[in-house]
Structure 1
């Protein structure tokens, strides 16, 4: 026999009968065929309405001899402030509850079947940015700006001051940007920028100072060379105000013939040999050299100290006064160079291209940096 969905509530106490009433025999109740009951769909509940208790199914009709069964007491009405009773939700597998019976009262339904309200979205606040506790760029800008001023004003070091001042300017700008974001030492960064700009101006001043120093050094060197030249022309043991050679002096005021020697007051002797026709040694040189004359330069050191020469070469002109061109063919020129020791001589060979038909030439030569040129003139031998 199937159990009704909601059994009737039992009476509080047994029914009272009049005294002396015979107890009738209880007739047998015929069993009703079992039928599967399908639960009705759950209705939505509200606070205003509460579903009434399901009616008790009618049992088999009593026989005339059986007294009527006592009516069950009605269920108390729910309070208006009581929470609503949740409807029976359909369980897994076609509405079966936790107990396995279809539509069983009190059986929990599928709690994950329906959608649940979500939480409203809110922007993520993120982590607060901590302000920098130091500003090293400001300190570096201050230091480099000061060094830029110091190096920029020094002659020959202005370029280093320019580079350092430019670096300091960049560091100062970076320090100001960092200070605007909360870092300290903004005033120090501004001072570094000012010092860096002053360093750039100091570098410009250092450039002008360098040019002035170089010009002054050149002028002093020129005066020293002139004084040395004048001192070399004076004879030892005589008054410096008097000239070393009387006027006129052959070789200085007039030309010497080729082959003659000229002696300077310091004991250095120079001579040019008689010019002769130059014969090129190689086939290529013979094609390039048409008419050249050859000269031998000889320098003798009659002083008491080594004499330094620096490639002494004569200047040659033809009989028309045109400057001759020196020949370079691998064999000539053979220049004198280096130091000549006291009592020794050194010779070199040079050749010059002259026009065809030239019969005489003139030349002048100076044995070193100091001293006057010695003049020679004569025919080609």
Structure 2
């Protein structure tokens, strides 16, 4: 095989256009439309036009080779119309810019980028509100039923109606609270209504319990009065006790009642009780201290005799003494000696005596006295000179 006289040479470097071909100017890319904003946007600085590409020097003629097909020219982008003043704002595509430099490696003195670059057009997500938990129970309804039942039970018991009133009032409050909670979604609304009704019935039963208590007290008083009348009789005295001495019609002359007896005489009552006062005698004090206080005193001996058939209880048997001028004499007290008063029960047929002393003005020669053996007896009068 023979070698051709002029073998094709391999082109070195990029293909060049023929000499004299006009240089195409780079079509300018229109700036993207800016979003409508109320703030005044500063004017962008004018972009200097790129200098024309200098013509390449003519290359030496080379043997004709197969020409590479020319690439079709890129179609020029259509210009974006200017936004209208009345058009709604639209999101503009991001302006191509130089790639952001890679963040420096985190190290001492060079903190990394803590937050990512914000992405336009993606609003933040909103978290939904937490749903409110629905009540799972209604304890107020159960409590209202219990307190309402106790209110009814206590309200009808005499003397405890006040406790039923308090418990029923608490039940009404719990029932109303249970109904309000049931309206918010809690269960047992019917139970809350039942508890409220029971509490109201408890209040009504407390009113009935009040009247029942008044009836019980009234009947108890009537029964006690009837029992006392049966035990003590219509006159209020026990049948086994001697009746009080009745006051006989005042006769014209009754010694001891209408006229005074002489000291030393005895007066007998209709029931057999006897009383007497001894003749007054000069009293001599027994102690030095009493002698300084007692100057002119007389002593009287009181004697009570039980002539009845039942024991007689002496309650208070002290005479009232007056001087000859009608002035009341004061009782004298001498330690260990006077007064010695009669007290206690006197058996039938027995007698009891007591000694009392009375201070009189100096120069008194006669005295008067009256005495009663006990409550309910007429007072017997005595008069006479000092012995």
Say if 2:375 is the partner of 1:377.
no
SS in 2 for 1:305: coil
TM-superposition CA deviations, 1:241-285 (whole Å, max 9, x none)? x96998633223321111112222333221111122333444544
Q: Does the 8 Å CA contact 1:232/1:265 hold for their aligned counterparts? A: no
SS in 2 for 1:375: strand
What are the residue-to-residue correspondences of 1:1-381 with 2, within 5 Å? 120=127, 122-123=129-130, 125-128=132-135, 129-130=137-138, 131-135=140-144, 136-147=146-157, 150=158, 161=159, 164-181=160-177, 182=179, 183=192, 184-197=194-207, 223-224=235-236, 233=245, 248-331=253-336, 332-381=338-387
SS in 2 for 1:185: helix
Structure 2: distance between partners of 1:167 and 1:298: 62
TM-superposition CA deviations, 1:182-202 (whole Å, max 9, x none)? 332323322332343465577
Structure 1: distance between partners of 2:279 and 2:167: 75
Q: Does the 8 Å CA contact 1:244/1:265 hold for their aligned counterparts? A: no
Q: Does the 8 Å CA contact 2:143/2:171 hold for their aligned counterparts? A: no
Structure 2: distance between partners of 1:338 and 1:224: 22
Q: Which residue of 1 aligns with 2:40?
A: none
TM-superposition CA deviations, 1:49-100 (whole Å, max 9, x none)? xxxxxxxxxxxxxxxxxxxxxxxxxxxxxxxxxxxxxxxxxxxxxx99xxxx
Q: In 2 relative to 1, CA 229–271 (structure 1 residues): closer, same or farther, beyond 3 Å? A: farther
**How far apart are 1:379 and its partner, in Å?**
1.7
SS in 2 for 1:120: coil
SS in 2 for 1:319: coil
**How far apart are 1:214 and its partner, in Å?**
10
Q: In 2 relative to 1, CA 187–118 (structure 1 residues): closer, same or farther, beyond 3 Å? A: same
Consecutive unaligned residues of structure 1, counting only runs of 5 or more, are: 1-94, 97-109, 151-160, 235-241
TM-superposition CA deviations, 1:111-139 (whole Å, max 9, x none)? 99x9xx88726346245041523532222
Structure 2: distance between partners of 1:277 and 1:311: 24
Q: In 2 relative to 1, CA 263–214 (structure 1 residues): closer, same or farther, beyond 3 Å? A: same
Q: Does the 8 Å CA contact 1:144/1:168 hold for their aligned counterparts? A: yes
Consecutive unaligned residues of structure 2, counting only runs of 5 or more, are: 1-100, 103-113, 119-123, 180-191
SS in 1 for 2:309: coil
SS in 2 for 1:168: helix
Structure 1: distance between partners of 2:329 and 2:380: 18
Structure 2: distance between partners of 1:289 and 1:121: 111
Q: In 2 relative to 1, CA 264–179 (structure 1 residues): closer, same or farther, beyond 3 Å? A: same
**How far apart are 1:174 and its partner, in Å?**
0.7
**How far apart are 1:286 and its partner, in Å?**
3.9
Q: Does the 8 Å CA contact 1:316/1:363 hold for their aligned counterparts? A: yes
Equivalent residues, number: 291
**How far apart are 1:313 and its partner, in Å?**
1.4
Q: In 2 relative to 1, CA 378–171 (structure 1 residues): closer, same or farther, beyond 3 Å? A: same
**How far apart are 1:341 and its partner, in Å?**
2.0
Structure 2: distance between partners of 1:376 and 1:355: 19
**TM, length-normalised to structure 2:** 0.52
